[in-house]
Structure 1
Amino acid sequence: MAKRKSEWFEWVKALLIAFALAFIVRTFFFAPIVVDGPSMMPTLHDGDQMIVNKFLYDIQEPERFDVVVFHASDKKDFIKRIIGLPGEHVAVENNVLYIDGKKVKEPFLAEAKKEMMSYQPYTEDFQLEDLPGGHETIPEDHVLVLGDNRNNSTDSRILGLVSLEQIVGKTSLIYWPFERMQILEE
């Protein structure tokens, strides 16, 4: 009888340790997210399941074109691409991205722009001053984010700039559906 209690106790202890480790990993290091909606098409599809790296920005700064998850509100997280970094001026004119007045290529949009530009602009013209907040440059500890589906995305053009505190983490691994499994390229 004592042996059975000891064995049962060991199983309970192992399960508790496993749950504790899973909780710690999910809370502080990695978490799953499901893409909700078309705002990141063609890069991400509605229903894609991804892993968010929650600790990366504790050891390095966000970079242009990182795909990030951020708290858009208390109840909703969004997934978008970082376009502008602190201290920069961002504008789009005639479907061309300008950072501090210099053209910047967006290779992840090349195909989509080709398809759509024949009948409408892929990204409506804007400049940083036109966005909520009216900033001339992106303030410290903030970034400008845009969805890859520029005509159907709630992003910095509507929400304003995103503070680094709002960012949950970077995501680049699609793990489901299986046929879309991939690591996103910049």
Structure 2
Amino acid sequence: MEWVMAIAVAIVLIMVIRAFFFVTYTVDGLSMEPTLDHGDRVVVNKFMDHFTDYEYEDVIVFDSEMGPAYVKRVIGAPGDNVEMDDKQVYINGEAIEEEYVVHTEDSYMDNFTLGDLGVEGDVIPEDHYLVLGDNRPVSRDGRDFGLIHEDSIVGEVQLRFWPLNEIAISF
């Protein structure tokens, strides 16, 4: 009887943790290389979503209307003006350094403004974010589907735990 009770408590704890605190995802695709590779397993912190806003460079998971959840990097937050010119991203007029980005000659949509993404006005509206993949030449991201609403965000990637030889905390 003790074993049954211990197993039941463990199952309930796992369900509560997955529902409110942490969840795991498998990276599907090449859009976040070199930061995250296809098949990497990550832990997403759902709990902090209720207490903090997402900021530039946070790697997040969000639900997509186009299929499975996406893993992307936050490039613009509410109130930011974001544009790209000749593969250089500018936030509020300042060029940002993106050491994690893959650049090739074959990239698409190297220039955009928020207006090109369907945003009315000069800044990202409240409760919305602009996300881009690190591997820009192959990433389906905000350049394709525009801004994402904060309600679609599952949480921030906190840990890569697979493969074991590449365990990393935060990105």
TM-score range relative to shorter protein: over 0.9
Alignment partner, residue 171 of structure 1: 157
1:68–1:167 CA contact under 8 A, matched in 2:
yes
Counterpart residue number, 2:45: 53
Q: Which has more radius of gyration?
A: 1
Q: CA deviation at 1:122?
A: 7.8
What secondary structure sits across from 2:100 in the alignment? Answer: helix
The one-character-per-residue Cα deviations of 1:128-160 (angstroms, maximum 9, x if unpaired) are 110134553111011000011111111111111
Letter in 1 for 2:146: G
Q: Which runs of 5+ in 1 are unaligned?
A: 1-8
Structure 2 counterpart of 1:77, from 61, 69, 75 = 69
Match of 2:111 in 1: 125
Please state if 1:152 is matched with 2:138.
yes
Change (3 A) 1:18 1:83: same
Aligned with 1:76: secondary structure?
strand
| 1:63 and 2:55 are equivalent in the alignment | yes
| Closer, same or farther: CA 68–26 of 1 in aligned 2, 3 Å | same
Instruction: Measure the CA separation in 1 of the matches of 2:108 and 2:165.
Output: 28
Report SS of the residue matched to 1:107: coil
Normalized against structure 2, the TM-score is what? Answer: 0.92
Task: Supply the AA of the counterpart residue of 1:166.
Answer: S
Aligned residues with identical type, % of pairs: 40
Identify the range of structure 1 (43-52 vs 94-103) with the bigger mean alpha-carbon deviation: 94-103
Deviations 1:66-125 (A, max 9, x none): 00000112852100000001011110111211112111111322xx33xx3xx4558611
SS of match in other structure, 1:154: coil
Equivalent residue of 1:108, what SS? coil
Q: Post-superposition, which runs of at least 4 consecutive aligned residues in structure 1 deviate over 2 A?
A: 119-123, 132-136
Q: 1:100 aligns with which of 92, 114, 119?
A: 92
- Residues 107 and 138 of structure 2 are in contact (CA less than 8 Å); yes or no, is this contact kept in structure 1? no
In the alignment, which residue of structure 2 is the partner of 1:23? Answer: 15
For 1:122 and 1:180, locate their aligned partners in 2 and report how far apart those are by CA, in whole Å.
30
- Once residues 156 and 134 of structure 1 are traced to their aligned partners in structure 2, the CA distance between those partners, rounded to angstroms, is 15
Which residue type is aligned with residue 134 of structure 2? D
Q: Distance in 2 between matches of 1:121 and 1:165?
A: 30
Could you tell me which residue of structure 1 aligns to residue 25 of structure 2? Answer: 33
* Secondary structure in structure 2 of the residue aligned to 1:33: strand
TM-score normalised according to structure 1 size: 0.85
Which of residues 126, 132, 140 in structure 1 aligns to 2:126? 140
Tell me how large the CA RMSD over aligned residues is. 1.7
